[in-house]
């Protein structure tokens, strides 16, 4: 093809050669069958040499997959090719098997499968590409012939192996050769059905993709959007690389410049992003200036290079500057609660979550007063939360026990309906909550209208001693019913960040100068939407903070991130490493057998800081969560750092791993959670996390002596803004666990299943023991 690269030209030559080789073998097989009246026993003799050459040429497919020349799983390709080669060698070593009709059926089946397969690949290289670009006869043969040829081919392979194992000539070979063939034969029992069903699934997916209706015409983007990548798309990976490269360069050091260049060149961002985030954190720890510089550069890049389009397309351009031009706003809705003051602060708790205890705490399982403070101390002593988090929880309990409330506190919640947010506890303790969440008009008339969210929020507010404030698309007086009010409530954060910010700036003017105000981001969506939400929330927070400098900021830090930790938690992780079964080498053995991917130590070399400190970090990053999630959470870190430096109270601390419905519905996570207590974790139930983290927020908002107040930096030795995150951590045991969170998933699942099998193993041991005694004494 004109303009074809060297790699494409090579692949065309390779696939064309293989197709011709297998076609020649097929022609020879057909000629043999016609000449012998359909005698399959003569096929191998007729096709053997051509078939062998074609099959050995398939070894190059392993090289193609291993070097990335084609996108195929290396292990799968290796197993498929090697299983074929084993049979070729068997036929050479066993004359009886090569002269069987099983071998002939195998050879014909292979040839009939491979000719259309290589034709399919060749068509993909020379044709328009994609499923729809492949000639339909070639496409149909590629995904349909297996229905007959896989059973005949597999049957032929099984028969050939069995014939060889009955052939005295083959049995004279080295015992390892015979054992290998028996192993391969045994693997066909579980492997064959899986292989066949895998092709069935592939066929279904291929036909669905080929005959899928054409995608709708692209519409003009509205709201926050990723920039074009120069290839006709909007690559989130390119944005991720560029923003972290900018952050690294923002450190203003030669090391940062070198790391920035390496980040920009990362080829596998999806699975290689984590090391660059670790570098951002470690580089930021080297000096307060580096920490501030990385945060400023990262957020600046996002606001200057992400894009924004208004719904009418009249406003288009760089996100920050374009949203600043928005002039519209919302009307204000209010719901005043009529409930009684709650009195003591209450935390629902009946022990940590486990698959054997999946239900929410019962109504009478509540901690308050002395029992709450005792549990806080117990959590602290058990390494589940840090001591200063226990102190904050006790302070909050004492505050409300004295008869006080949150009546003068105003909390702006971006994502008020979030499962992990403090909405109900804030209202229960008398706060005014300013709720930002999705429009209630979405899904109107459908099975799941979003108005139900606002119905729930309003109902909670009415039953509480607090108040609810929220944006409306029309005046509250014009809402003819509660349903009408719920449908008019809410806003679209990704499309209306300017309107939301304008509304909040106007709202805060109605408050007394001394009113306590804090704004928190509790939003979450999957993938790239999380990044867009984080950017829009960041804009809103920045605008409100500029209009009201006394306003605080709040975030929930995920445990699956990298944070500065306390010296005590670092020492505990080092002490716990190798304890328990680890003292017998079991855990080190698991680490070795997994190629170093299981049970990696949960501590690294400290970072020397310019002020003489050695800053300790805990790396809880989970690559599986993806780079978009990591970027969104890092943006929250950066905003927290900058606002703390600017003088704001920043209630941002690590929250524990929590058994929310979205998590435990994934059986893999549920199994892993079941084994985590062995590694000194406690999994919190959602109700417990909500109450505990709300207590942390209230403490930071009310207690002027909190470490989250920048006026107390010297007292708590927070010289670097990243050290903010080592205070009041409710990490659930992660910081003091001996092994990194991302490396204990499979061991945790195995431990959980081992626990389930324990009674059965005990019973089996008992039966075996009794049987042994009976046979011995009889």
Cα distances (Å, whole numbers) of residue 446 to 441, 449, 472, 538: 11, 6, 21, 32
Q: Which of 437, 428, 352 is nearest to 686 (CA)?
A: 352
In Å, how far are 14, 308, 489, 502, 750 from 497, measured between CA atoms? 54, 10, 16, 9, 46
Rounded Cα–Cα distance for residues 660 and 684 (Å) = 9
pLDDT at 441 over 90: yes
Buried b or exposed e, range 2-30, using 16+ CB within 10 angstroms: eeeeeeeeebbebbbebbebbbbbbebbe
Query: Both tokens of residue 196?
Result: 């066949």
Query: Which tens digit of pLDDT belongs to each residue from 520-529?
Result: 999 999 999 9
Give me the half-sphere count of Cα atoms (radius 13 Å) on the Cβ side of residue 426.
32
Hey, is 501 helix, strand or coil? helix
pLDDT above 70 covers a percentage of the chain that reads: 94
The mean of the pLDDT values for the chain is 91
Starting at the earlier edge strand, list the strands of the sheet with 409-414: 331-336, 467-472, 432-436, 409-414, 516-521, 552-557, 650-654
Q: Average of pLDDT values for 311-327?
A: 97
- Mean pLDDT in residue range 459-473: 97
Following DSSP, what letter does each residue of 586-636 receive, concatenated?
HHHHHHHHTTT-SS-BS--PPEEPTTS-EE-EEE---GGG-HHHHHHHHHH
Residues annotated as catalytic (active site), given as ranges: 150, 157
Task: Give phi and psi for 58, each to the nearest 5.
Answer: -65, -15
pLDDT in tens, 44-80: 999 988 999 999 999 999 999 888 888 888 888 888 8
- Classified as helix, coil or strand, 467 is strand
Give per-residue pLDDT as tens, 745-770.
Answer: 888 888 887 776 566 556 656 666 66
How confident is the model at residue 1, as a pLDDT? Answer: 39
This model's pTM is above 0.85: no
Q: What share of the chain is helix, strand, coil (3-state, %, to 5)?
A: 60, 10, 30
| 714's tokens | 């010297």
Q: At 584, is the pLDDT very low, low, confident or very high (cuts 50, 70, 90)?
A: low
Per-residue pLDDT of 138-188, as tens digits, reads 999 999 999 999 999 999 999 999 999 999 999 999 889 999 899 888 888
What is the pLDDT at residue 598? 86
How do residues 617-628 score in pLDDT, each as one tens digit?
999 998 888 999
**Helix, strand, or coil here: 99?**
coil
Residue 594 has pLDDT above 50, yes or no: yes
Residue spans of beta strands (DSSP E) within 339-489: 346-348, 366-368, 409-414, 432-436, 467-472
CB 434 within 8 A of CB 504: yes
Residue range(s) occupied by CATH 3.40.50.720 in the chain: 330-567+605-665+682-740
C-alpha span between 425 and 438 (Å, rounded): 21
Find, among 739, 562, 523, 558, the residue nearest to 658 by Cα.
558
Asked if the model's pLDDT at residue 3 lies above 50, the reply is: no
- Write out pLDDT tens, residues 75-91: 888 888 998 999 999 99
Each residue of 109-125: pLDDT tens digit?
A: 999 999 999 999 999 88
pLDDT for the residue 670: 78
Q: What is the pLDDT of residues 737-750, one digit of tens each?
A: 999 988 888 888 88
**pLDDT, tens only, 4-13:** 588 889 999 9
Handedness of CA 582, 586, 592, 593 (dihedral sign): negative
pLDDT at 6: 87
The pLDDT value given to residue 480: 94
From residue 222, alpha-carbon distances to 308, 312, 317, 319, 657 in Å are 7, 8, 11, 12, 35
Spatial distance between the Cα atoms of 76 and 82, rounded to a whole number of angstroms: 10
**222-245 burial string, b = 16+ CB within 10 Å, else e?**
bbbbbeeeeeeeebbebbbbbbbb
pLDDT of residue 152: 94
Give CA–CA dist 501/425, Å, rounded: 25
Cα–Cα distance, 614 to 606 (Å, whole number):
6
pLDDT above 70 for 130: no
Cα–Cα dist 295/307, whole Å = 20
Could you read off the pLDDT of 350-392 as tens digits, one per residue? 998 888 888 999 999 999 999 999 999 999 999 999 999 999 9
133-142, 233-242, 758-767: which is most confident = 233-242
Encode 260-278: b = buried (16+ Cβ within 10 Å), e = exposed. Answer: beebbebeebeeebbebbe
The rounded distance, in Å, linking the Cα atoms of 706 and 693 is 15
DSSP code string of 665-734:
TSHHHHHHHHHGGGGT--PEEHHHHHHHHHHHHHHHHH-TT-TTSGGGTTTTT--SGGGGGGSS---TTG
- What does the pLDDT read at residue 762? 63
427 beta partners: none
Host H or E run for residue 309:
strand 307-309
What integer pLDDT is reported at residue 456 of this predicted model?
A: 96
Q: What pLDDT is stored for residue 523 in this prediction?
A: 95
Angle at 306 between CA 303 and CA 310, to 5 degrees: 100
The pair of structure tokens assigned to 140 is 């149909």
φ, ψ for residue 617, nearest 5 deg: -125, 150
Closest CA to 224 of 450, 561, 536, 503: 536
Residue 2 — very low, low, confident or very high, per pLDDT cuts 50/70/90?
very low
Looking at CATH, the fold of the domain delimited by 330-567+605-665+682-740 is given as Rossmann fold (3.40.50)
Query: What's the pLDDT tens digit per position in 550-569?
Result: 999 999 999 989 999 999 99
Reply yes or no on whether the pLDDT at 320 is more than 90.
yes
Averaged pLDDT, 433-438: 98
**pLDDT over threshold 50, residue 610:** yes
Q: Tell which residue, 115, 132, 129, has the closest CA to residue 17.
A: 115
pLDDT score of 668 more than 50: yes
- First-last CA distance in the chain: 83
CA distance 57 to 64: 12
């Amino acid at each position: 093809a004109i303009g074809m690269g060297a790699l494409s030209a090579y692949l065309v030559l390779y696939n064309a050669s293989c197709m011709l080789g297998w076609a020649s073998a097929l022609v020879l097989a057909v000629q043999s069958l016609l000449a012998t009246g359909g005698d399959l026993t003569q096929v191998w003799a007729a096709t053997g040499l051509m078939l062998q050459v074609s099959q050995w040429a398939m070894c190059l497919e392993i090289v193609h997959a291993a070097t990335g020349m084609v996108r195929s799983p290396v292990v799968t390709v290796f197993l498929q090719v090697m299983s074929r080669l084993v049979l070729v060698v068997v036929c050479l070593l066993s004359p009886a098997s090569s002269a069987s009709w099983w071998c002939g059926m195998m050879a014909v089946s292979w040839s009939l499968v491979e000719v259309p397969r290589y034709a399919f690949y060749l068509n993909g290289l020379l044709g328009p590409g994609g499923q729809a670009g492949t000639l339909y006869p070639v496409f149909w043969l590629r995904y349909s012939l297996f229905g007959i040829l896989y059973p005949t081919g597999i049957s032929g392979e099984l028969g050939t192996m069995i014939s060889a194992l009955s052939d005295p000539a083959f049995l004279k070979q080295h015992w390892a050769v015979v054992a290998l063939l028996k192993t391969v034969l045994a693997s066909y029992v579980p492997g064959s059905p899986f292989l066949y069903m895998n092709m069935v699934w592939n066929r279904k997916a291929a036909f669905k993709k080929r005959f899928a209706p054409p995608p709708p015409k692209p519409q003009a983007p509205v709201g926050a959007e990723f920039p074009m990548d120069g290839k006709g798309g909007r690559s989130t990976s390119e944005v991720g690389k560029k923003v972290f490269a900018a952050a690294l360069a923002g450190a203003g050091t030669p090391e940062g410049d070198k790391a920035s260049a390496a980040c920009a060149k990362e080829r596998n961002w999806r699975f290689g992003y984590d090391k660059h985030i670790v570098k951002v954190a470690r580089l930021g720890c080297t000096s307060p200036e580096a920490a501030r510089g990385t945060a400023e550069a990262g957020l600046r890049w996002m606001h200057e290079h992400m894009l924004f389009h208004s719904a009418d397309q009249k406003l288009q351009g760089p996100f920050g500057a374009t949203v600043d031009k928005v002039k519209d706003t919302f009307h204000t809705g209010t719901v005043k609660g009529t409930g009684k003051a709650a009195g003591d602060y209450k935390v629902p708790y009946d022990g940590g979550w486990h698959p054997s205890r999946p239900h929410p705490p019962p109504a009478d399982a509540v901690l308050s007063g002395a029992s709450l403070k005792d549990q806080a101390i117990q959590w602290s002593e058990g390494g589940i939360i840090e001591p200063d988090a226990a102190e904050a929880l006790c302070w909050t309990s004492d505050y409300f026990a004295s008869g006080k409330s949150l009546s003068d506190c105003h909390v702006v919640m971006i994502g008020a309906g979030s499962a992990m947010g403090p909405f109900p506890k804030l209202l229960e303790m008398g706060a005014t909550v300013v709720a930002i969440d999705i429009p209630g008009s979405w899904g109107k008339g459908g099975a799941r209208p979003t108005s139900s969210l606002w119905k729930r929020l309003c109902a909670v507010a009415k039953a509480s001693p607090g108040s609810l404030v929220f944006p409306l698309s029309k005046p509250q007086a014009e809402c003819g019913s509660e349903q009408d009010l719920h449908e008019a409530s809410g806003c679209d954060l990704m499309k209306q960040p300017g309107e939301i910010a304008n509304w909040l700036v106007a709202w805060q003017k109605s408050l007394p100068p001394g009113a306590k105000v804090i704004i928190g981001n509790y939003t979450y969506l999957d993938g790239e939407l999380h990044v867009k939400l984080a950017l829009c929330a960041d804009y809103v927070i920045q605008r409100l903070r500029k209009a009201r400098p006394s306003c605080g900021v709040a975030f929930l830090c995920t445990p699956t991130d990298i944070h500065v930790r306390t010296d005590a938690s670092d020492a505990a992780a080092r002490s716990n490493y190798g304890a328990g079964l680890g003292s017998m080498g079991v855990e080190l053995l698991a680490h070795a057998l997994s190629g170093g991917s299981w049970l990696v130590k949960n501590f690294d070399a400290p970072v020397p800081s310019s002020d003489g400190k050695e800053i300790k970090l805990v790396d809880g990053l989970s690559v599986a969560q993806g780079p978009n999630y990591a970027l969104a959470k890092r943006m929250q870190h950066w905003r927290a750092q900058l606002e703390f430096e600017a003088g704001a109270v920043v209630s941002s601390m690590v929250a524990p791993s929590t058994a929310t419905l979205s998590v435990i519905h994934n059986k893999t996570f549920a199994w892993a959670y079941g084994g985590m207590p062995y590694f000194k974790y406690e999994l919190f139930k959602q109700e417990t996390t909500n109450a505990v983290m709300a207590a942390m927020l209230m403490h930071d908002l009310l207690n002027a002596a909190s470490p989250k107040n920048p006026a107390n930096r010297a007292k708590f030795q927070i010289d670097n803004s990243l050290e903010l995150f080592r205070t009041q951590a409710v990490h659930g045991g992660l910081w003091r666990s001996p092994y990194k969170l991302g490396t204990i998933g499979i061991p945790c699942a195995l431990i959980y299943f081992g626990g389930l099998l324990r009674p059965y193993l005990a019973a089996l041991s008992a039966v075996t023991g009794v049987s042994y005694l009976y046979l011995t004494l009889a």
